[in-house]
Amino acid sequence: MPRQAQPTATSARALQTAAPASRIRAADTIGEAGSAAALAKLNVAVAELKAMAIAPMLQRAIEAIRAEEPKKAYDWAVKALEQDEHSGLGWYLLGISLERAGDFANSIRAYEAALKLLPDHGEVACDLGRLALRLGMKPQAEDLFRRFLARYPDDPEAANNLVCAIRDQGRHEEAIETLRPAILKMPDNAMLWNTMGTILSDQGDFANAQVFFAEALRLDPKFPKARHNVANVLLMRGDIEAALAENAIAIQGVKAGDDRQMMRLARSTMLHCVGRIGEGWDEYESRIHPHFNGRTAFAVDRPRWEPGADLAGKSFLVICEQGLGDEVLFANVLPDLIERLGPRGKLTLAVEARLVPLFKRSFPLARVGAHATYEINGVLTRVVPFLDEGPTIDLWAPIASLLREFRRSVDDFPPRPRFLAADPDRVAHWSRELDKAPAGAKAGLLWKSAITRDARHRYFSPFSGWAPVLAQKGATFVNLQYGDCAPELEVARRELGVEIWTPPGIDLKQDLDDIAALSCALDLVLGFANATLNIAAACGAPTWLISVPGAWTRLGTLRSPWYPQTRVFLPQSLNDWDPVMAEVAQALGDFVAER
């Protein structure tokens, strides 16, 4: 019997000290529909079939899956089910073929049918659980993995994926405690070490995360996901050239199309961070690649624009995308597009519904309406409900794709003080309201994002880090923070003796047009990169941005090319907030003194 690989002394110490901390999104599950082991078991099951009429069809389906021909596998599975609709193996093979083809919604239905007919066939539960987790059905995935492990307690893939399901529900301590004994039981399994590394990386413990990834690569030097995770850690630690090198190796070794596009998307971030902006936008197209599971599809039956196309006089549809702050950020390109369309061209903009008034005012000659997003066959799909109400569209593009032509270098960003326009009447209204607030320079504060998924919180200082800023005399702090911020306001009042003034009569999450006006009425908007700060900066309000190492939006600079009037503060390393918050406090003191 071969001897099990033993963890190195360094990785063993890291395993002993692995402990839960703050929440950050981790890597996805591991496994493939119709793995070699599962297909081997299916072969045996097919050979034992009593209903011999469908056995050759099922065998053909298995052979097609092995040959990576999912369409052919699907056809043979359907033929078998037409002969015997109660064939659990037929439904299972149909599920595998649909998943391999990227039809996740129908695949999960086929797996569910197979599981009812084959309750003792554990691989069905494992494949169904992995796909359920991929589609965000976390409790269901956890139940399926537990069911599988009850029958096969030593299966490393299921143990790994159970940890992913637990972790993705926010139970991080339980995830670590579930994974640690699995690693001790199977110390030669690279994917378990990799998964522990992702948990630590997501907690911001990059040093120990790198130890776990190194151990995974020692055990399996050709493990692309571990290599990809090493690249991400290097990016967060500021070694971007090394991150790019590791990322390139990972992409070269990966087989699954979804993983390849995910790694390309990560590469786009790294390229932006080193100032290779044009290449970065080219790689950013991976976000909408058909093989990328996290993509948003666009339901538009018009020709799609490609870089280099003649735009003069065209009727052009732009669909905004990503999050609310991204829609605002990417709108930096719209004045250039309008100029390229010329006086005979016509621009149609589909934006988030709350942005419609602001964009209508900012681009008065454009037709502006709200997009809508639905889940269609398991894929988020963005539509433009008002599209048929106006002129025929010649070309269309997702807004970020325009950057491939218009923003290929930092020099392509014009020194434009603003590209969105706040309502001047509402600016005057808020100036009057601010006069009623306590005396002092009015500084609007933003300290967090309302989005808690994908580890976003590591890009924001804990509220306690704001103490030196809030201690500055002569400033009146105005609350611009959307979402539930009552706990932080109470901490400021009770522990710091500072009253953060909340403006009356405004919904800080919904009233985005008024947010723009309020921001322009303030002396300063100060905080981290969330949607509100992007709106303020795009409208030309004086803004101070507290950035982080590895922030791709700086595009390899120490400033914000998108918003030239914005002052950027940058910590030396991630989670090292005290020095930069002290720097912000000093700058605010100087700002107030000048007034």
CATH superfamily, region 27-167 = Tetratricopeptide repeat domain (1.25.40.10)
Same fold, 27-167 and 424-594: no
CA-to-CA distance for 141 and 129, rounded, in angstroms? 4
Asked if CATH classification 3.40.50.2000 holds for the domain at 424-594, the reply, yes or no, is yes
Give pLDDT, residue 27: 40
From residue 446, alpha-carbon distances to 30, 158, 466 in Å are 38, 42, 11
SS3 297: strand
Burial 525-542 (b: 16+ CB within 10 A, else e): bbbbbbbbbbbbbbbbbb
| pLDDT tens column, 501-532 | 999 999 999 999 999 999 999 999 999 999 99
d(CA 104, CA 149): 23
363: left (phi over 0), alpha (psi -120 to 50) or beta: beta
Q: In what order do the strands lie in the sheet with 524-527?
A: 475-479, 441-446, 524-527, 543-546, 567-569
E-strand ranges in 407-546 read 441-446, 475-479, 524-527, 543-546
The helix (H) or strand (E) run that includes residue 318 is: strand 315-319
pLDDT tens string 263-292: 999 999 999 999 999 999 999 999 999 988
Instruction: At 327, give phi and psi (nearest 5°).
Output: -60, -40
Structure tokens at 512: 């985005």
**DSSP 8-state class, residue 537:** H
pLDDT of residue 480: 97
User: Which DSSP string corresponds to 132-148?
Assistant: HHHTT-HHHHHHHHHHH
Bridge partners, residue 346, by sequence: 315
Q: Give me the tens of pLDDT residue by residue for the chain, a chain 595 residues long.
A: 333 455 565 554 444 444 433 322 334 455 555 555 555 655 555 555 555 688 889 888 888 888 888 899 899 999 999 988 888 888 888 888 888 887 877 888 888 888 788 776 667 777 778 777 776 778 888 888 888 888 888 888 888 889 988 877 778 788 889 998 889 888 999 999 998 988 888 777 888 899 999 999 999 999 999 999 999 999 888 889 999 999 999 999 988 888 899 999 999 999 999 999 999 999 999 999 998 878 899 999 999 999 999 999 999 999 999 999 999 999 999 999 999 999 999 999 999 999 999 999 999 999 999 999 998 877 889 999 998 877 789 999 999 999 999 999 999 999 999 999 999 999 999 999 999 999 999 999 999 876 544 455 566 778 888 999 999 999 999 999 998 889 999 999 999 999 999 999 999 999 999 999 999 999 999 999 999 999 999 999 999 999 988 889 999 999 999 999 999 999 988 778 999 999 999 999 999 999 8
Q: Residue ranges per domain, the chain?
A: 27-167, 297-408, 424-594
Determine the Cα–Cα distance for residues 277 and 275; give it in Å rounded to an integer: 5
Chain mean position to CA 480: 24
Q: How confident is the model at residue 6, as a pLDDT?
A: 54
Count the residues in the chain.
595
The string of DSSP codes covering 271-287 is HHHTT-HHHHHHHHGGG
Tell if the pTM clears 0.85, that is, is over it.
no
Nearest-angstrom CA–CA distance, 28 and 323: 21
Q: What is the pLDDT of residue 35?
A: 58
**Are 507 and 531 within 8 A, CB to CB?**
no
Q: Specify the pLDDT at position 92.
A: 82
pLDDT attached to residue 578: 93
State the Cα angle at 92 between 90 and 96, rounded to 5°: 115
Instruction: Give the amino acid at 395.
Output: L
**Are the C-beta atoms of residues 446 and 560 closer than 8 Å to each other?**
no
pLDDT of residue 4: 44
